[in-house]
């Protein structure tokens, strides 16, 4: 059987087995570029790559962060604002001059914006998409010749918000849905050139993106009473002004998934990595809901038995099933 339901079932299959623990053979030292490497997920990926013996070009914007990254073994901090083409071009020149080539790109730099879609200023969309979508596009395009030359890998750090969405988080989900589509299309095109492309979809892990989101939101002096969504806005304001300690786990599992995507002989195209069973369930249920919705109300719908048959087929042919060891559920 072919068609859209098989695509959706493939996504569901990927989400299910993204809960499995990656295992890959250590390779000789490779050079990898990581954007947004100064904190959170980007820093953890940088640390794991360097500890595994690989060389990391760690992109950051602030001089102090660049110096801190450069002090790490196997890491060279470089100035890299993914919204500035001149800095991207300078980074390409620097990497070429380094003589190591470039095997991998990890497009990790990202920002978050919160607010009702019908009330957000267009400038907020410009800010978000400039980093979350145009950033990976610019960086990948600029470094593509080096990656093609090395027959390397590209990994985009997306989010489970590339599957989910919700009130006031729609703009962020828009950017991550777009990044998912970009990843899928890029995987097909670059696959023709011997380059493998993947995305990692983290759940809620410790990072500074929430703090930055709140700082930007509060700087706009939003008046909840002026919004159609007064109750939601009041809750956001209260949460941002009285942010509790971030008790989310460190993004170690995310870094492990990225290394698997970069160095395993048979990487998956998508890696959902979440710290709780609840986050896994809501994401997978959303994917199933989408499948059911697209299968309804037209002349070419599949029966329930046919959909189950497709899912069984995906399980039986998916190499992730035989390759991975499942982690215990929480």
Neighbours of 269 (CB within 10 A): 17
307 domain-assigned? no
Among 202, 201, 265, 273, which Cα is nearest to 20's? Answer: 273
Is the Cβ–Cβ distance between 77 and 70 less than 8 Å?
Answer: yes
Edge-to-edge, what's the strand order for the sheet holding 196-202? 75-79, 55-60, 31-34, 104-107, 153-157, 196-202, 270-273
Residue 33, C-beta contacts closer than 8 angstroms, at least 6 positions apart: 56, 57, 59, 91, 95, 102, 104, 105, 106, 139, 143
Rounded CA separation 105/154 (Å)? 5
Buried b (16+ CB within 10 A) or exposed e, 221-260: ebeeeebebeebbeebbeebeeeeeeeeeebebbbbbbbb
Is the Cβ–Cβ distance between 211 and 219 less than 8 Å?
Answer: no
Task: State the DSSP string of 163-223.
Answer: T---TT-HHHHHHHHHHHHHHHHHHHHHHTTT-EEEEEEE-S-S-SHHHHHHHHHHTTT--
Catalytic member of 57, 103, 172, 205: 172
238 domain-assigned? no
Is the Cβ–Cβ distance between 274 and 203 less than 8 Å?
Answer: yes
Read off the pLDDT of each residue in 205-232 and give the average, rounded to a whole number: 89
pLDDT of 320: 43
Structure tokens at 226: 């002026």
Judging by DSSP bridges, how do beta strands 325-326 and 270-273 pair with one another?
unpaired
271 is catalytic: no
Distance of CA 129 to the CA centre of its chain: 14
240 domain-assigned? no
218 domain-assigned? no
pLDDT of 7: 58
Task: State the DSSP string of 239-296.
Answer: HHHTPPP--PPPTHHHHHHHHHHHH-SS--SEEEE-SSHHHHHHHHHHHHHHHHHHHS
Among 81, 55, 83, which Cα is nearest to 69's? Answer: 55
- Phi first, then psi, for residue 199 (nearest 5°) are -130, 145
Window from 88-97, 190-199, 230-239 with minimum mean pLDDT: 230-239
314 domain-assigned? no
pLDDT of 105: 98
Window from 11-15, 24-28, 74-78, 120-124 with minimum mean pLDDT: 24-28
> What is the DSSP code (8-state) at residue 302?
P
pLDDT of 326: 35
pLDDT of 208: 84
Place of tokens 């048959």: 309
Is the Cβ–Cβ distance between 129 and 122 less than 8 Å?
Answer: no
Q: How confident is the model at residue 327 (pLDDT cuts 50, 70, 90)?
A: very low
| Total of domains in the chain | 1
Determine the structural domain holding residue 91 and report its residue range. 10-17+24-207+248-282
pLDDT of 5: 60
pLDDT of 227: 94
262 domain-assigned? yes
Read off the pLDDT of each residue in 62-78 and give the average, rounded to a whole number: 98
312 domain-assigned? no
Q: Supply the CATH number for residue 114's domain.
A: 3.40.50.720
Read off the pLDDT of each residue in 39-45 and give the average, rounded to a whole number: 97
Higher pLDDT pick, 245 / 109: 109
What are 234-279's pLDDT values in tens digits?
A: 998 888 888 777 888 999 999 999 999 999 999 999 999 999 999 9
48 domain-assigned? yes
Is the Cβ–Cβ distance between 35 and 92 less than 8 Å?
Answer: no
């Amino acid at each position: 059987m072919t068609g859209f339901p098989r695509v959706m079932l493939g996504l569901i299959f990927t989400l299910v087995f993204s809960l499995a623990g990656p295992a890959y053979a250590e390779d000789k030292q490779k050079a990898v570029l990581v954007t947004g490497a100064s904190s959170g997920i980007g820093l953890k990926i940088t640390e794991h790559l360097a500890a595994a013996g690989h060389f990391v070009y760690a992109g950051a914007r602030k001089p102090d962060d660049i110096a801190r990254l450069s002090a790490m073994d196997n890491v060279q901090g470089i100035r890299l604002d993914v919204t500035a083409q001149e800095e991207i071009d300078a980074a390409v020149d620097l990497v070429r001059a380094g003589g190591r080539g470039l095997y991998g790109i990890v497009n990790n730099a990202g920002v978050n914006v919160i607010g009702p879609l019908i009330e957000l200023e267009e400038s907020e969309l410009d800010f978000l998409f400039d980093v979350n979508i145009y950033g990976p596009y610019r960086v990948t395009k600029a470094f593509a010749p080096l990656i093609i030359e090395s027959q390397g890998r590209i990994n985009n750090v997306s989010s489970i918000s590339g599957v989910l969405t919700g009130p006031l988080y729609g703009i962020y989900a828009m950017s991550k849905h777009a990044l998912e589509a970009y990843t899928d299309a890029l995987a097909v095109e670059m696959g023709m050139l011997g380059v493998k492309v993947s995305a990692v979809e983290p759940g809620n892990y410790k990072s500074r993106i929430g703090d930055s989101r709140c700082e930007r939101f509060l700087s706009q002096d939003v008046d909840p009473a002026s919004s159609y969504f007064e109750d939601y806005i009041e809750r956001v304001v209260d949460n941002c002004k009285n942010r509790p300690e971030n008790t989310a786990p460190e993004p170690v599992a995310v870094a492990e998934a990225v290394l698997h995507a970069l160095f395993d002989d048979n990487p998956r195209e998508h890696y959902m990595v979440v710290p709780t069973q609840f986050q896994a369930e809501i994401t997978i249920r959303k994917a199933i809901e989408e499948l059911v919705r697209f299968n309804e109300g037209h002349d070419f719908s599949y029966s329930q038995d046919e959909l189950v048959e497709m899912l069984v087929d995906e399980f039986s042919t998916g190499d992730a099933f035989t390759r991975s060891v499942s982690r215990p559920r929480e």
